[in-house]
Amino acid sequence: MNIKPLFDRVVILPDTHDNMTNSGIILPETSQGRPQTGQVVAVGDGTDFDGNQINMKVGVGDKVVYNKYSGAEFKIDDKIYVIIRQIDVIGVIE
C-alpha cells in the first residue's frame, strides 16, 4: 500500500469478521455491520488545518478500536482500508 495520510488522519486495515454464525447460518454482508477494530497501517504528521500541532497518539502497527461509522472506505490492491481522523480512534488494544 502506498498512501500517506495528511494532518491528523489515520489509515486502518479493518479486521475481517466471519460471515457465519456459530450455528452455521450465513449472514448477508449488509447485516454483518462494519468492523470496529483494525491495524494502523499509516499515520499523518499530526499538523491540524489551523496550523496547530497535534501529537499523534497512535502509530503504525497499533491495533485500535474506532467509531463504527467514522471515516471513509477505499480499496487498494484488493484490500479495503478506512481513513479516519485520530479523534475517532477510541483506544489502542494492548
User: Would you state the pLDDT for residue 16?
Assistant: 80
> Using one digit for the tens of pLDDT, what is the confidence trace for 56-76?
999 999 999 999 888 999 999
> Cβ(61)–Cβ(85) under 8 Å?
no
Residue ranges, the chain, pLDDT below 50: none
pTM, 2 dp: 0.80
User: Would you state the pLDDT for residue 56?
Assistant: 94
User: Would you state the pLDDT for residue 18?
Assistant: 64
User: Would you state the pLDDT for residue 24?
Assistant: 72
